[in-house]
Structure 1
Amino acid sequence: MPRYALKIEYDGTPFAGWQRQAQGQASVQGAVEAALAKLEPGQHTIAAAGRTDAGVHATGQVATCDLARDWDAFRLSEALNFHLKPAPVSILRAVRVADDFHARFSAMERRYTFRLVQRRAPVTHDRGRVWQVLNPLDADAMREGATFLTGLHDFTTFRSSMCQAASPVKTLDEIRLEECDYPGGQEIRFHLRARSFLHNQVRSIVGTLERVGAGSWAPEAVKQALEARDRAACGPVCPPQGLYLTGVGYPDDPFAA
């Protein structure tokens, strides 16, 4: 059966997350599988590089699917986008891949961006797409706090109690803060890169660094929280709507050509 990789963009607001839900709630996986069933009747199961939570968005999710028909890749993406309407899900590209390529298990890294907006006036155009805080933030203090988190660590403090990963030990390759102009305030984007992440790890890290930026925590308190290896030592977990899965890295990028 021909295997295809799909690069997918979606607004996670109306979904209960990526993963298909047994209770019948809307999911991104379910929407794409339903569109596939319109092209080739029957049950379809696709695999994704990352199972984003409810309300989390993506600009570079990757999924693989096996189909009976040898589709032209461009026509496959066009047909899927037609059948995905009006769901806020878009197939950016479809490419034919080798039978041993797997969206999840072949991945070498995942990249996430979290958008935090600081301003007093309510956001309008970005409602549901950013986390808004009202008070000014010290981005340099947050950068200092973030330096304690890069590298190989036991991230128990920044791991959800529902996390199913076998180990809390992960290597966080990068945390980079980008300051952007924003009408009436400021936007800070947190760019994180790692081979894999624990459940709620990114949101736990950003929520903790926000406390540093607000002046409630000293930057060194992030190091103390990490070393505590205790979920209770974590700062607040920030809401999901500012989080985006922006890319997945592979030894050979199937979308490079």
Structure 2
Amino acid sequence: MLLVKTAAELTAQISELKKNGKTIGFVPTMGYLHTGHLSLVEQAKKACDSVVVSIFVNPKQFGPQEDYAKYPRDLTRDQELLSAARPDILFAPAADEVYLPDSAVRQLRADEKLSAVACGVSRPGHFDGVVTVVARLFDLVRPDKAFFGRKDYQQLRIVQKMTELEKYPVEIIACPIVREPDGLAMSSRNKYLSPEQRRRAPALQLSLKLGAELLRQGKSLAEVKLAVWHTLQAAPETLVNYIEILRRDDLSALREYLPEQTVILAAVYLGNTRLIDNIEV
């Protein structure tokens, strides 16, 4: 695995791979890796000749009161984890390598409809930062396929839309959520949880399973959202950020449950830590 820290060196490495006819798989991350990230690398290695992983904590997708400064960073730890997964290139740039001070980086806007719900309501501007950095990384890596986890479901749909609108020749591969044995979706932010909070955290996934079962039983969307809300609010230190029941493909509002076309999205604060999860129904 080659560690690359500058855009110029990455460009040279990518040009060499392209010259040799290699297909490139790309796994963009913000670091502090876990098994979920490594599963994306595994998928990329199966599908492509060469794999690039990026580690970049993107300042453009954090709001003024969010956790950019304290977001977990440990490049040495991440390199050790990746050494077993064996990607070809680890791109770990500083911010001024991604957003070059002497060149104009396109500032993209996330699709208005896709970003008008769920996380987009409580994190204004967040998805603009996401699509801006993903586009910039696509310009640098020039991947054939890019691998994203389904835990960040809204982000996945927004990146898919951006890729389509910007006409990037990149296939977006949606990969399954990887969970802890007790059901908690793996996330770098899980390290913020105290031992007691960590014990309670699987309630988020359990509440979504309850919501899915109630939908299948014929309960109304309003009844399901209320049941999920009550289940989550009953847990100590838990504040519900949102619960949304939406159409999978375009995150539009539903009037009733549509089997195999519906997703339940939820976000909660457990203490000061924000957790998100979803279930497709």
Bigger relative contact order (CA 8 A; separation at least 6): 1
Q: TM-score, normalised by structure 2?
A: 0.27
Q: 1 or 2, which has the higher strand percentage?
A: 1
Query: Which structure has greater helix proportion?
Result: 2
* TM-score between both structures, scaled by the size of structure 1: 0.29
